[in-house]
Amino acid sequence: MSTQQFQQRVFPIKGVVQHYTWGGFGFLPRLLADPNPEGKPFAEYWLGAHPNCPSTLADGGRCLDAVLSENPDVLLGAGTHARFGHLPFLLKLLDVRQMLSIQVHPNKQEAAAGFARENAAGIPLKAPHRNYRDDNHKPEIMIALSEFWLLHGFKPEAELRATLRSVPELASLLPLFERGLYQGLYEHVMHLDQGEVDRRLRPLAERIGPLYRRGALDKASPDFWAARALETFPGNGSIDRGLFSIYFFNLLRLSPGEGIFQDAGLPHAYLEGQNVELMANSDNVLRAGLTDKHMDVPELLRLVRFEATQPNILRPAEPPCATYPAPVPEFAIEACRLQAGTVRAASFPTASILVVTEGGGSATDGTDTWALEPATALYAAPGAALQLSATEELQFFTARVPGV
């Protein structure tokens, strides 16, 4: 396909599946109509121009990042190209079967400094002990497609005190919290040697493990997720210190359509469910537990925001379409649900990606027409306009660059 053909404003793209071990075996294969004969876990479906795993054009196989770079003022927009130099967001569909690591992301300044520092130290970009794989921050917003459970920031003070009092094995930590609040408490447990972690948490494991195995724990209790973590991360006989965080952080259940924004410095972890996730184009993660991957505790603690978090759950406005606010310049997201028989005009003033998650219909720009079905994804350049028709109830999400 020639560069000239990319003067068109809309074209279908295909994403890239990430087969991380925590992924599910049903949701994404069904969505993508992939029989998955090898039985691989399907964790994430990436749509965007991330240089590590860019989407491709559905009809030509060329990488989206290369195509955008050929005619950026047209395909990205002059403002986006001048400000970011590339498509600044990454859109994902996730299926969380097993708990993800507790993690924190750097802000823009921290990411740039960390990336330069590790480059100067000669650490290869793909080294397992590398913290900063690019120079960008990674704010993110997610919208639940199913019941979705996650950890999200430190509990308010009164709630955390109540938790420490109510969990016998953690009661000895209450004086630490009273003296040093969030920073004193968290730094203490993150710096404990492994023997002390095991000594403190073994009685907890022995109490909640049998309850979990016989189905006696409720998901609304941190005991449920701590017991699941013990099953998921056996640790060769040692106990993952991430169990402390399960009790320290807000435990949230989102219903389908509800969303939440997570900015730099906020500790969080996805626990279970399917969602749409939109983030700045970065892969910078500092881990704090529930993982067998590299953990750099001093760097992690330098980034954490030691403060109470009052979760701001984003609930959709009246249908058919709702925008979820994200206070960053890289991305915005809109969710739409059209009833069968609905025709809706859609305009795209900035670079956008539309992905269908349910239903069927069609889209036309007046010249070309594309079928809309689950996993259909369309890249829309600035100035594009579509007419969308739903032949059955149609759900889709549109990620875009905010006005620039």
Burial bucket for residue 61 (CB in 10 Å: 0-12, 13-18, 19+): exposed
Planar angle of CA 51, 77, 322, nearest 5 degrees: 85
Tokens of 205: 């494991």
Tokens of 275: 């969602």
pLDDT value for 344: 96
The backbone torsions φ and ψ at residue 317, rounded to the nearest 5 degrees and listed phi first, read: -75, -175
> Which pTM does this prediction carry?
0.94
pLDDT in single tens digits along all 404 residues of the chain: 444 445 678 999 999 999 999 999 999 999 999 999 999 999 999 999 988 789 999 987 899 999 999 999 999 999 999 999 999 999 999 999 999 999 999 999 999 999 999 999 999 998 999 999 999 999 999 999 999 999 999 999 999 999 999 999 999 999 999 999 999 999 999 999 999 999 999 999 999 999 999 999 999 999 999 999 999 998 788 999 999 999 999 999 999 999 999 999 999 999 999 999 999 998 899 999 998 889 999 999 999 999 999 999 999 887 799 999 899 999 999 999 999 999 999 999 999 999 999 999 999 999 999 999 999 999 999 999 999 999 999 999 999 999 86
Tokens of 159: 């709630």
Which residue matches tokens 């986006």?
Answer: 80
Q: Are residues 288 and 295 in contact, defined by beta-carbon separation less than 8 angstroms? A: yes
Count of residues in the chain: 404
| Catalytic residue set | 287
Distances (CA, A) of 337 to 42, 319, 356, 360, 394: 25, 7, 10, 11, 5
pLDDT value for 234: 82
Which residue matches tokens 């479906």?
Answer: 45
Whether the ω angle into residue 320 lies within 30 degrees of 0, i.e. cis, is yes
Which residue matches tokens 């049998």?
Answer: 210
Tokens of 369: 């027409």
3-state secondary structure of 176: helix
Q: Which domains does the chain have, with CATH numbers?
A: 89-317 (2.60.120), 321-400 (2.60.120.10)
CA-wise closest residue to 277 among 114, 77, 142, 169: 142
pLDDT value for 7: 66
